[in-house]
Chain A
């Protein structure tokens, strides 16, 4: 089983819809959880970051972590065409003096006007 699983999509939604993006992970040592957004022909950019179970909100975006189920989600409310991008989950395992960042393969989202 891969360490981080993410449905690649593509996912196509109408403007204004609520979007749910999800990842599952297998290693309970993972402690920090991130979501990156990658526009076409650009590098990934950090969207949200959390290290605890529960919800974290930032504007239209909510990151949710359930450590007991090893499941993380990103919700986008009132989705906009500008949200069309690939979304990657990333999970951190800190180590002695370093850390390992493991990415999901990304879900491609299209928001249709």
Chain B
């Protein structure tokens, strides 16, 4: 089944403790992206990647890192999480050309206390 898989689905952590949210897609998509979704603010792009080793900032990149060492994986790294990063996070992938539609993962609900 074509899908984007995120792990974990739920995570509670403490301020300052480094964490990684994994994302993997099995559709051979070139384009991958991370979004956060907050009430009243909608979906906001954190980082995106057009291909292996090519990443760029989205609208809200502060406090986040990403890497794209393999085409299928695009982990999101929070080096020192803070409470304002409590949010619902989505990874998404797309072919990047022609059809611009994204396939989204099921989301990771992160709480930073």
A-side interface residues toward B, CB under 8 Å? 8, 32, 34, 41-46, 49, 88, 92, 94, 97-99, 101, 103-106
A101 vs B43: C-alpha distance in the bound complex, in angstroms?
10
Whether A42 lies near B43 (C-beta < 8 A) is no
Whether B43 lies near A88 (C-beta < 8 A) is yes
- Which secondary structure dominates chain B's binding surface? strand
Q: How many interface contacts (CB-CB < 8 Å) are there between A and B?
A: 48
Number of interface residues of B (CB under 8 A): 23
| Of B45, B56, B104, the contact of A43 (CB 8 Å cutoff) | B104
Q: How far is the CB of A97 from chain B (nearest CB, A)?
A: 6
A94 vs B101: C-alpha distance in the bound complex, in angstroms?
12
In the complex, B75 has a CB within 8 A of chain A: no
Q: B56, B101, B103, B104: which has the most chain A beta carbons within 10 Å?
A: B101
